[in-house]
Chains A and B, each alone.
Chain A
């Protein structure tokens, strides 16, 4: 039945389709590990998408563009950071307000950039390796940023579980009062995590505007930020499982479109639901297996910290 379906090209497309989610979800994972829930991912992605696009177009350099996207996302995130960390505002409401704000700001910023083309991003091209069948297209022929996203996950894993800084960050997320009494500056650590999360979301947005679609269009993320939030939960706050979640979701999305193009006889409306349903089903299977164990959610997630002494 899948005679015409090329597994290789399917894998290649799913990796591209999943990368914006992967960036944003990895950033949000670090934020949540520090005990902060930032629901403003969609807004930060949009700000990143336009900042990255604008910088790339004006410098002609896509890599500088991605740096601009990271800066844009981080600045947006710091609005959230200052409000929630210094002024102790409610994280859920502030995050949602950030999404409103970011959606609007990106649209205003983007007006001069409608209809422009971004400079092409560099791709990996290793003689011999990139030309290998199967392995070549899947492993050695992507744009640079796709590799960056995978390295980012590895780096975040290493940081969280193999460094002292990561230990402290997790401690802050598990028990901010204890971390504080040990002398750690909970607020600064969290601000750092929030800025990092914003930068990652921004880069994810720019991956959309500079590579996956390449163009700027208002509201172009169309809900990807929300999916990224869900993927963090799906991953039960474990970095490598973010890759699994993002690729699963992206994979089913791409697969269902391919099945339609193949002419499979399932109503398109129901096929369109499959990425969401499959994600739920896989989550249920994974959650049920470790029923008795903890869910890995950071204990202080979303809770306000105020040092009383």
Chain B
């Protein structure tokens, strides 16, 4: 948005970037959902609290929740920067352009944008390799299903979600050749009622293990009620399904947030592109339920360890695309570029990917 960048620039310069002299490091966060969503925004806020805990009085954190992407985000970011923030975490993909625009006006404020691809001298990007976690829970799901049907509640057909489905499917298939995935697209990130309906629909269609890529714990509560299995998404969700929950993929932003804030304090912050997985702890696998047989749990743990060690990649050939065309040759590993833009199902998944 070059043509309006000068909007706040004048104000910013006139004030000499207020707050720069403050001894405390000011850390700002903006969230796309309410911190009470118990999913995406909740976990980012847990990261913020960890920063507060770690640094104590050396930092001051502030956040604004439920900020719509677009013009509102740009305004909130500008106000945060004007308020003297030293580093700002923008925690949703849709904040990408607003982050870049505001960063251009405040060269002395560092920005960290989650899940995007645009960077600048003072804008880093970071994201988590959730598909590594999907591989691990896919292994468990493939072994635990008795109906050989795994239900998947998906939000929007974007690479992040498609990648998760593919990773989970390949893993499940590797331990259970008869496994079948049923995918329901709900076209929302957060709608507990609809997510619950989707879980019910999948159960009716024979699914006895449910995975989800939406934010609320609704599917977990339904799984508990119906006596089937499910996995926690974003947060552990143990309390919603003490019997149903097999494990979970937890977004653990705390180590990254602490590291980046430390870099600002030390004056060593640089623009980087981080895509971390199980190894550095950004993706955490929740404790295995005792419902999982010991040998299955051991194999899943081994896979998680191998991924962390870098000896196993969830997308290792031979893998064909859904239409049968070859994607990866035997032993070949998917490159990050293809993963980041993944817009196809792998071979074996039934149903059409919405385009």
Direct contact of A and B (CB under 8 A): yes
Q: Which of B34-42, B87-95, B134-142, B257-265 contacts A (4 or more CB under 8 A)?
A: B34-42
- Looking at the assembled complex, report how far the CB atom of A55 sits from the nearest CB atom of chain B, in whole angstroms: 19
Of the candidates A4, A111, A117, A208, the one whose C-beta lies within 8 Å of that of B193 is A208
Of the candidates B192, B201, B351, the one whose C-beta lies within 8 Å of that of A257 is B201
Q: Which of B75-83, B163-171, B214-222 contacts A (4 or more CB under 8 A)?
A: B214-222
**Do A219 and B204 have beta carbons less than 8 Å apart?**
no
Name A23-54 residues within 8 Å CB distance of B.
none
Of the candidates B183, B205, B217, B352, the one whose C-beta lies within 8 Å of that of A258 is B205
Q: Which residue of B lies closest to A120 (CB)?
A: B225
**Do A261 and B204 have beta carbons less than 8 Å apart?**
yes
**Do B204 and A9 have beta carbons less than 8 Å apart?**
yes
- Looking at the assembled complex, report how far the CB atom of B34 sits from the nearest CB atom of chain A, in whole angstroms: 5
**Do A262 and B205 have beta carbons less than 8 Å apart?**
yes
List the B side residues contacting A208 at CB < 8 Å. 192-193
**Do A265 and B352 have beta carbons less than 8 Å apart?**
yes
**Do B350 and A114 have beta carbons less than 8 Å apart?**
no
Name B7-22 residues within 8 Å CB distance of A.
none
Does A72 reach chain B (CB closer than 8 Å)? no
- Looking at the assembled complex, report how far the CB atom of B125 sits from the nearest CB atom of chain A, in whole angstroms: 28
Does A254 reach chain B (CB closer than 8 Å)? yes
Would you call the interface of chain B mostly helix, strand, loop, or mixed?
mixed
Name B173-201 residues within 8 Å CB distance of A.
182-188, 190-194, 196-198, 200-201
A260-B184, A260-B185, A267-B354 in contact; A218/B36 too (CB < 8 A)?
A: yes
A110-B36, A212-B196 in contact; A261/B218 too (CB < 8 A)?
A: no
Q: Which residue of B lies closest to A255 (CB)?
A: B201
Give CA–CA (A10, B200) in the complex, Å: 9
Name A1-31 residues within 8 Å CB distance of B.
4, 6, 9-10, 13, 16-17, 20
- Centre residue among A4, A107, A217, A265 by max chain B CB count within 10 A: A217
List the A side residues contacting B185 at CB < 8 Å. 260, 268-269, 272
Give CA–CA (A223, B187) in the complex, Å: 14
A221-B193, A258-B205 in contact; A13/B187 too (CB < 8 A)?
A: no
Does B269 reach chain A (CB closer than 8 Å)? no
**Do B201 and A117 have beta carbons less than 8 Å apart?**
no
**Do A111 and B200 have beta carbons less than 8 Å apart?**
no
Does A138 reach chain B (CB closer than 8 Å)? no
List the B side residues contacting A265 at CB < 8 Å. 351-352
**Do A13 and B193 have beta carbons less than 8 Å apart?**
no
Name A150-202 residues within 8 Å CB distance of B.
none
Does A99 reach chain B (CB closer than 8 Å)? no
List the A side residues contacting B250 at CB < 8 Å. none
- Looking at the assembled complex, report how far the CB atom of B237 sits from the nearest CB atom of chain A, in whole angstroms: 9
**Do B204 and A213 have beta carbons less than 8 Å apart?**
no
Does B256 reach chain A (CB closer than 8 Å)? no
Binary interface profile of B, 216-239, with partner A (CB < 8 Å = 1, else 0)?
A: 111001100100000000000001
Does B344 reach chain A (CB closer than 8 Å)? no
List the B side residues contacting A91 at CB < 8 Å. none
A13-B201, A115-B239 in contact; A260/B192 too (CB < 8 A)?
A: no
A215-B221, A218-B34, A260-B185 in contact; A4/B205 too (CB < 8 A)?
A: yes
List the A side residues contacting B36 at CB < 8 Å. 107, 110-111, 114, 217-218
Interface size (A, Cβ < 8 Å)?
41
- Looking at the assembled complex, report how far the CB atom of B163 sits from the nearest CB atom of chain A, in whole angstroms: 18
Does A263 reach chain B (CB closer than 8 Å)? yes
Give CA–CA (A238, B188) in the complex, Å: 33
Give CA–CA (A68, B57) in the complex, Å: 43
Does B106 reach chain A (CB closer than 8 Å)? no
List the B side residues contacting A92 at CB < 8 Å. none
**Do B194 and A253 have beta carbons less than 8 Å apart?**
yes
Of the candidates B37, B201, B217, the one whose C-beta lies within 8 Å of that of A254 is B201
Of the candidates B184, B188, B217, the one whose C-beta lies within 8 Å of that of A261 is B184
Does A224 reach chain B (CB closer than 8 Å)? yes
List the A side residues contacting B197 at CB < 8 Å. 13, 17, 253-254, 257
Does B133 reach chain A (CB closer than 8 Å)? no
A13-B201, A258-B204 in contact; A218/B193 too (CB < 8 A)?
A: no
List residues of B whose CB falls within 8 A of some A CB. Answer: 34, 36-38, 151, 157, 182-188, 190-194, 196-198, 200-202, 204-207, 216-218, 221-222, 225, 239-240, 350-352, 354-355
Q: List 28 A-B contacts (CB under 8 A).
A: A4-B205, A4-B206, A111-B36, A115-B38, A117-B239, A208-B192, A212-B196, A213-B192, A213-B193, A213-B196, A214-B221, A217-B36, A217-B38, A217-B216, A218-B34, A219-B190, A221-B193, A222-B188, A223-B191, A254-B201, A257-B186, A257-B194, A258-B205, A262-B205, A267-B354, A267-B355, A268-B157, A272-B185
Q: A4-B205, A265-B352 are in contact. List 14 more A-B contacts (CB 8 A).
A: A4-B206, A13-B200, A13-B201, A115-B239, A117-B239, A208-B193, A214-B225, A215-B221, A218-B34, A222-B191, A222-B194, A261-B207, A267-B354, A269-B187
